[in-house]
């Protein structure tokens, strides 16, 4: 999860997030290069006496600064489109979880486990244990296995919500009357936090998401759900 004074992105816990971080660094280096070249050109313009009359007609230079931006846009667009199609790809999920947004809590349904359904509310400050995170911990966590393709079916019962877990690279809108889906494969065990990322009313900031990721062998041993 994020920590105080953090500058970069959160550590990746899924292949998709790893790709997103790589693309972020790739695009950032291109932006730094463009900014450096523009500042260098401005510096030369302000400090150099323009005494050469031939600079008013430079067909070669105009050709270069027309083609070069097009090449830069292609270098950014190709990896971006690749990641976009990867996020929409569904690879035969082994487990399906349905998430329903309410004002202001989440309902989860394990459709592969006899319709196990429970609500997940934010823990009030009075119920926090030592080590719990204020405004982020919930009474019932979603327990999922790692290294297993998981499909999330996301919808809403009242207003627009958004189910987002940054460390997994997930952000899917929960829309009333519509069932959206997203898939992910977690690579590391741990507890990961997210929040509703769509302004949904007065208590929008009080509907956190907590995923507890455990090894598949432990998940298959029996009821590990923290109800």
120, 102 contact by CB (below 8 A): no
Q: What distance in Å separates the CA atoms of residue 189 and residue 177, rounded to the nearest whole number?
A: 33
Residue-by-residue DSSP string for 163-215: EEEGGGTEEEEE-BT--EEEEE---S-EEEEEEE-S--STTGGG-EEEEEEE-
pLDDT computed for residue 53 by the predictor? 57
Classify residue 203: in a domain, yes or no.
Answer: yes
Q: What distance in Å separates the CA atoms of residue 68 and residue 45, rounded to the nearest whole number?
A: 21
Q: Tell which of 73, 88, 103 closes a domain.
A: 88
pLDDT computed for residue 222 by the predictor? 64
The total number of structural domains in the chain stands at: 2
Q: Tell which of 53, 88, 123 closes a domain.
A: 88
- Lowest mean pLDDT: which of 55-69, 90-104, 176-190, 201-215? 55-69
User: The pTM is what?
Assistant: 0.81
- What pLDDT band is residue 86 in, cutting at 50, 70 and 90? confident
Secondary structure of 92-131 as H, E, C letters: CCCEEEEEEEECCEEEEEECCCCCEEEEECECCHHHCCCC
CATH number at residue 203: 2.60.40.420
- What pLDDT band is residue 57 in, cutting at 50, 70 and 90? low
* Domain membership of residue 167 as a residue range: 95-221
How far CA 22 is from CA of 18, 83, 127, in Å, comes to 6, 10, 39
């Amino acid at each position: 999860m994020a920590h105080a004074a953090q500058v970069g992105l959160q550590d990746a816990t899924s292949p998709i997030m790893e790709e997103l971080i790589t693309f972020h660094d790739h695009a950032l280096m291109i932006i730094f290069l463009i900014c450096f070249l523009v500042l260098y050109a401005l510096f030369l313009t302000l400090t150099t006496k323009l005494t050469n009359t031939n600079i008013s007609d430079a067909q070669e230079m105009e050709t270069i600064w027309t083609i070069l931006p097009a090449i830069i846009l292609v270098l950014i667009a190709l990896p971006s489109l690749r990641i976009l199609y990867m996020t929409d790809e569904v690879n035969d999920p082994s487990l399906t979880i349905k998430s329903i947004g309410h004002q202001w809590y989440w309902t989860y349904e394990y459709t592969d486990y006899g319709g196990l359904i429970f609500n997940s509310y934010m823990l009030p400050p009075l119920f926090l244990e030592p080590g719990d995170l204020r405004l982020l911990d919930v009474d019932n966590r979603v327990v999922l296995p790692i290294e297993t393709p998981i499909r999330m079916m996301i919808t809403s019962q009242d207003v627009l919500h958004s189910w987002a877990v940054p460390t997994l690279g997930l952000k899917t809108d929960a829309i009333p009357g519509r069932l959206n889906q997203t898939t992910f494969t977690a690579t590391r065990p741990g507890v990961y936090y997210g929040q509703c990322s769509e302004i949904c009313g007065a208590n929008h900031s009080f509907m956190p998401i907590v995923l507890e990721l455990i090894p598949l062998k432990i998940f298959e041993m029996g009821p590990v759900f923290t109800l």
